[in-house]
Structure 1
Amino acid sequence: MANYHRNNVENVVLGHHNRSKFSSTLAGHFRLWNAASFRRVIFDAVSCGASSRYADRSDTSSEKPQHQQRTTKPNNNAKSEKLSDLLSIAEAEADVETKKKEEKLEELKRLVKELQHEEDSAKRTEAAATVRLLAKEDLEVRGTLAMLGAIPPLVAMLDEAQNEVDSLVASLYALLNLGIGNDANKAAIVKVGSVEKMLKLIESPDGLDSSVSEAIVANFLGLSALDSNKLIIGSSASISFLVRTIQSKDNKSSPQAKQDAFRALYNLSIFPANVAFILETDLVVFLVDSIGDMEVTERTLAILSNLVSTREGRKAISAVPDAIPILVDVLNWTDSPECQEKASYILMVMAHKSYGDKQAMIEAGIATSLLELSLLGTTLAQKRASRILEILRVDKGKQVSASYGMGAAVSAPICGSSSGKADGGGRECFEEDEEMMSEEKKAVKQLVQQSLQQNMRKIVKRANLPQDIVPSDHFKSLTSSSTSKSLPF
């Protein structure tokens, strides 16, 4: 029995190796285990479902998470502590910000209440000045003040403080700043009757202080930027006031007020219904006469560009003496491309709509200016110049074709009656007429070429180009069909 157990244990330990080898190996490296010990080890391994080798691994693996847990616990705690610190800081900052907003809201409420106190005018003036400063650069404050009801008391101050310049200036500029970048506020300011109250100040028999006048012009400029306000302001007497402002020559209006008045009139002229109110004044004559003053010429041409879009506006511009020659002269202002673009637009619309204006342009020598502009102007100016040239060429061609038609109808019977031979005298007369016409055409062509060469030399001289420059293909395309029909000489 003992032998059996021994042999059995040896078979289990040795596997497919021989005993001698196992014995020699054990003799050199290991101590021999007895049979009972091996039986115990084997029994434990079988009962656990794994060998002792895997049991050791499971022990080490079970110990490993415990070691990791011990090492990571402090890190998790540190992270959670940092996170809680950040959250507490964010909450503290949010509380501070909320507190600031609450304090600011309370201050704005206090200002609105002070604006509503009619008894203490000094306090109201001070509150209006504060509103003016707070609303100057803060869009959020403008909306908050309007929601709290700051606009009606500020407009009411225009009625109640007519003789107090400081109060009027403070309330007017407070309204101006409340409307900056806020269309809802602009509409609300007009809706509560600010335009009528400003006009009452303008018509005051005691006269109007220059600072108050300048503040009113600035308000008209800001309020007229909103489309829904354009007709309300334009149909009032505000246009006459603005025209008087830009025409002032006794230094009653500051340069800033004049610039604001030009811009306000431009905003109002965008709306076609206001053109009739503008034409009731002498604004168009003043605008045409102002062309040449480089401080206001661009704004002047901008207003005329809006007026020329209506039939009444075109008639008013054409009725001004020398309006067409003045506009044509602007095309030669190489130092002001913006003015060239606006003047070419006005001339293009007038040439397209009115035959009389086209004749006046031809008489003013517009062809030379258009050729120069089509070569040296901006891209937009070149397109407009080419369009005007095309309009003039087509119209001139129609006139010449009509005149030649009438001549043929009259001359054909006369030539035929000079001789009884159909193929004799008639043909001879026709050939002579054709020779005469060819000579006329040659003379006209020669004159046109001379005129174009002179114009080209002027253009080259203006552009400071070499005198032997070769005309571009664009110039050739413009002059290839140039005869007495298209370009005057």
Structure 2
Amino acid sequence: MSTHSSSSSSSSIWAVSNIKLQFFARIRRFLQSKATRKRCDASDRFIIAKSRAEQNNNKDENLETVQVMEAKHEEEEEEFEESAITLLQRTVKMLHFGSWEEKEVAAKEIGRLAKEDVKVRKLITELGVVPVLVSMVASPVATRRQAGLTALIQLADGTYTNKALIMEAGILSKLPKTVDLVDESTMSDFAELLLSLSSLANTQFPHSSLDFIPFLREILETSSNFDTKASCLGALYNLSTVLDNVGPLVSNEIVPILLELSLVKEISEKALATLGNLVVTLMGKKAIENNSRVPISFIDILSWEDKPKCQELSVYILMILAHQSSSQREKMAQAGIVHVLLEVVLLGSDLAQKRAMKLLQWFKDERQTRMGPHSGPQTPRFAMGSPVNQRDVKEGKKLMKSLVKQSLNRNLEIITQRANASGECSNQKSLVISTSSKSLPY
């Protein structure tokens, strides 16, 4: 028993010693590379300064002045770099081998240093700080967890390598089981970190990592902060760009909350963009069209003249839902979509206008089919010389044309009034000129 205990203790000591040796070896290589760059930079500056000085009349005096200035500048740079390196060395050492209180201080300092530059962020992660910071995220101590989160957010900024290292360190297994255990500020930090990591969706993002979707949904349902919600929606959007992720997103009931948030103007665009990615799949389309908010929610969004991007996304989703679905087109017609589409055609952005015109054409074709000779009860055909009064037939046609024209004019008047109120249209005449009964039959 004693032999086994002593061997175990020896191996543990050896492991710690090995970690320390690796750590100081990395610091030594970093210092050597810095020193080499400083010598090269100093030499280059001296050559340039000498060349400039020799071009002047008072060569000796100017050269001496420049040399003094360059030496002073070089000395200041060396002092600054040495202090920065010393600080980084002390901070990383404290994070690896210090107490939990020292680790917390070191994590805050790493978060501050990581803001400076991508190269600094990469260097810090090469010193093996990520696993320690990830372990801090699971700490029950709020300040310690916050320090670890902040440092990881900064390290993940702008570098896929660091994001991959954070994922490999098991950050997703350290997430809280429920948002009830964290405050609003911590929820915001978790959402920001997950947004950053979700950009790996099209690269090495593992499928099993989607277990954090319920956590994102809880934040969306709980948080009152629009920035926090926007970060969660951004993460969901990144995930929705991969078709294999549609199943987990739908099964975790993300669609209902996306539909709800699509009606909130401050964050609607990202919610609609995510729904636009889901609707092109069979599972996603089914989940969307079976919701009681559809299609009324999307039709309401079409009236947001101050949100052209939302209009474009909404009419796009409506096009996908209406395509080859007579039941959806019937729901849309009953909800008054034709009138709203006319407004979009006249007042929307170029892309929204094109999509709205395409959707209107489908309703026009469907209406013509219903009114065609084979779509309803057939009237008997009369041979030449029939006693039917041809004059009555012509009068009936005139009456129908008049009714259609009156309906169109009525719609145009309503649209003109709204356009004049918002300052987007000058008068009814310009609307009539730009519209014809042939292209817009409703």
- The TM-score normalised by the length of structure 2 is 0.76
1:469 matches 2:429? yes
- The farther-off stretch of 101-110 and 84-93 is 84-93
Q: Which of 377, 383, 386 in structure 2 is aligned with 1:426?
A: 383
| SS in structure 1 of the partner of residue 403 of structure 2 | helix
Whole-Å Cα distance in 2 between the matches of residues 148 and 435 of structure 1? 95
1:302 matches 2:273? yes
Question: Kindly tell me: are residues 269 and 338 of structure 1, through their superposed partners in 2, closer, same or farther at Cα, counting changes over 3 Å?
Answer: same
Q: Cα offset for 1:396?
A: 4.0
The alignment yields a C-alpha RMSD, in angstroms, of 3.2
1:342 aligned residue: 313
Q: Which of 154, 173, 179 in structure 1 is aligned with 2:133?
A: 154
1:78 matches 2:58? yes
Q: Cα offset for 1:106?
A: 2.8
1:173 matches 2:172? no
2:210 aligned residue: 236
1:83-482 correspondence runs (5 A):
83-117=63-97, 120-159=99-138, 162-198=139-175, 201-202=176-177, 207-228=181-202, 231-232=205-206, 235-248=209-222, 254-400=225-371, 403-405=372-374, 415=381, 426-429=383-386, 432=388, 441-464=397-420, 469-476=429-436, 479-482=437-440
Q: Cα offset for 1:407?
A: 7.0
Structure 1 gap segments, 5+ residues each: 1-73, 416-424
Whole-Å Cα distance in 2 between the matches of residues 122 and 75 of structure 1? 59
Which residue type is aligned with residue 271 of structure 1?
A: V
Q: Percent identity?
A: 32
1:7-22 correspondence runs (5 A):
none
Q: Contact conserved, 1:217 with 1:261, CA < 8 A, in 2?
A: yes
Whole-Å Cα distance in 1 between the matches of residues 115 and 242 of structure 2? 28
Whole-Å Cα distance in 2 between the matches of residues 369 and 227 of structure 1? 37
Which residue type is aligned with residue 83 of structure 2?
A: E
Q: Contact conserved, 2:339 with 2:411, CA < 8 A, in 1?
A: yes
Question: Kindly tell me: are residues 270 and 115 of structure 1, through their superposed partners in 2, closer, same or farther at Cα, counting changes over 3 Å?
Answer: same
Whole-Å Cα distance in 2 between the matches of residues 406 and 203 of structure 1? 57
Whole-Å Cα distance in 2 between the matches of residues 435 and 285 of structure 1? 58
2:8 aligned residue: none
Q: Cα offset for 1:128?
A: 0.4
- The farther-off stretch of 443-452 and 104-113 is 443-452
Whole-Å Cα distance in 2 between the matches of residues 120 and 394 of structure 1? 74
Q: Cα offset for 1:109?
A: 2.2
Q: Contact conserved, 1:223 with 1:229, CA < 8 A, in 2?
A: no
Could you list the per-position Cα deviations for residues 218-243 of structure 1 after superposition, in whole angstroms to 9, with x for gaps in the alignment? 21112112334684378432111111
Q: Cα offset for 1:384?
A: 1.9
- The TM-score normalised by the length of structure 1 is 0.70
Q: Cα offset for 1:133?
A: 1.7
Question: Kindly tell me: are residues 434 and 263 of structure 1, through their superposed partners in 2, closer, same or farther at Cα, counting changes over 3 Å?
Answer: farther
Whole-Å Cα distance in 2 between the matches of residues 406 and 319 of structure 1? 28
Q: Cα offset for 1:308?
A: 1.8
Q: Contact conserved, 1:243 with 1:283, CA < 8 A, in 2?
A: yes
Question: Kindly tell me: are residues 174 and 373 of structure 1, through their superposed partners in 2, closer, same or farther at Cα, counting changes over 3 Å?
Answer: same
Question: Kindly tell me: are residues 283 and 94 of structure 1, through their superposed partners in 2, closer, same or farther at Cα, counting changes over 3 Å?
Answer: same
Q: Cα offset for 1:455?
A: 0.7
Count residues with an aligned counterpart: 385
Structure 2 gap segments, 5+ residues each: 1-53
Q: Contact conserved, 1:235 with 1:274, CA < 8 A, in 2?
A: no
Q: Cα offset for 1:97?
A: 1.9
1:70 aligned residue: none
Could you list the per-position Cα deviations for residues 271-330 of structure 1 after superposition, in whole angstroms to 9, with x for gaps in the alignment? 222221111133222332344433333333232222222222222111111411221122
